[in-house]
């Protein structure tokens, strides 16, 4: 798989969002590990997780522990995979999400992620969401402390505005290497943040990158796809591939700093997503999709 850069690290242009493997409706562990292994075998070298990716109360870090077990069982070089995790959110177990961005919480959360992933330093640690009750500089300052202490190699942000990115860059400098915002065919309101990331050389990792694209057969376009009104489905039908693959190829063409992290709960989905790295869309097709 061709690569793009996150900080000083080259990663495959399509990553894996591991959240579906641990939250509501998750597959059993054998299939979850099969999904991660399929991703690695397809050339994926970026896996995105968070300490809050779990389902029930009392299982914080479920996703991180799952990834650690999958990497250990795979037999390859775990050092060749960049694990991006996040701190600053919680899940009480009732389906809700909380936000806690105090420096004390983030420092403790980092220690927990280090323990669960079984590493001395986290490859990439990202602030999951700004906490409106905590000054932004204090939350970002915790990432600065972790960088200086060698607990994390690189820092990132999620769910942020362009102004927050700029403020964080003043504190973190080149230590800030990634931004995760929602961006997809259905949600394109992070254009200012994407443009700023391009100018600063920061990787932009769209979460929920397949938003607005219906489920379809991964063996080819279905009758539903052919009849669908979105240009993504139309191009997919013409190409004989899934609309998900077209969507990821479109994202890769949007900007050289984009590295999408589609989720998956089946090995087939992972393989289809990875194949987007080799799908080159024509200027005409891109013009249709950009409308």
Residues near 135 by beta carbon (within 8 Å), at least 6 away in sequence: none
- Domains of the chain, CATH where assigned: 3-215+250-278 (3.20.20.100)
DSSP per-residue codes, 16-43: EE-GGGTSTTPPPHHHHHHHHHHHHHTT
Using alpha carbons only, how large is the chain's radius of gyration in Å?
18
**Could you give the residue numbers annotated as active site?**
53
Assign 186 to helix, strand or coil: coil
Task: Write down the number of H helices and E strands in the chain.
Answer: 11, 11
HSE, CB side, 13 Å, CA atoms: give it for residue 139: 28
Q: How confident is the model at residue 214 (pLDDT cuts 50, 70, 90)?
A: low
17 φ/ψ angles, rounded to the nearest 5 degrees: -90, 110
Q: How confident is the model at residue 92 (pLDDT cuts 50, 70, 90)?
A: very high
Residue 225: the pLDDT is 43
Q: What is the mean pLDDT of residues 178-195?
A: 97
| Range with lowest mean pLDDT among 35-49, 101-115, 221-235 | 221-235
| pLDDT tens-place string over residues 42-78 | 999 999 999 999 999 999 999 999 999 999 999 888 8
Give this prediction's pTM.
0.94
In angstroms, the CA 96 to CA 58 distance is 14
């Amino acid at each position: 798989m061709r690569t793009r850069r996150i900080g000083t690290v080259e990663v495959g242009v399509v990553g894996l969002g591991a959240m579906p493997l641990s939250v509501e409706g998750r597959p059993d562990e054998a299939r979850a590990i099969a999904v991660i292994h399929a991703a690695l075998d397809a050339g994926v070298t970026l896996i995105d997780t968070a300490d809050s990716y779990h389902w029930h109360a009392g299982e914080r870090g479920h996703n991180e522990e799952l990834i650690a077990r999958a990497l250990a069982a795979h037999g390859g070089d775990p050092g060749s995979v960049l694990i991006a995790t996040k701190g600053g959110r919680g899940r009480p177990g009732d389906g809700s999400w909380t936000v806690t961005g105090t420096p004390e919480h983030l420092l403790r959360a980092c220690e927990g992620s280090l323990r669960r992933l079984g590493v001395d330093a986290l490859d990439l640690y990202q602030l999951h969401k700004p906490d409106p009750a905590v000054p932004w500089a204090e939350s970002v300052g915790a990432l600065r402390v972790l960088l200086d202490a060698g607990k994390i190699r690189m820092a990132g942000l999620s769910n942020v505005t362009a102004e927050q990115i700029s403020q964080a860059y003043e504190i973190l400098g080149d230590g800030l290497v990634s931004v995760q915002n929602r961006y997809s065919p259905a949600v394109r309101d992070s254009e200012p943040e994407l443009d700023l990331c391009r100018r600063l050389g920061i990787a932009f990792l769209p979460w929920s990158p397949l938003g607005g694209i219906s489920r379809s057969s991964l063996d080819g376009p279905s009758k539903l796809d052919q009849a669908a009104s979105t240009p993504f489905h139309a191009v997919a039908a013409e190409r004989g591939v899934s609309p998900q693959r077209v969507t990821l190829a479109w994202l890769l063409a949007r900007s050289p700093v984009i590295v999408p992290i589609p989720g998956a709960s089946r090995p087939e989905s992972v393989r289809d997503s990875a194949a987007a790295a080799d799908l080159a869309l024509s200027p005409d097709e891109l013009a249709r999709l950009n409308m």
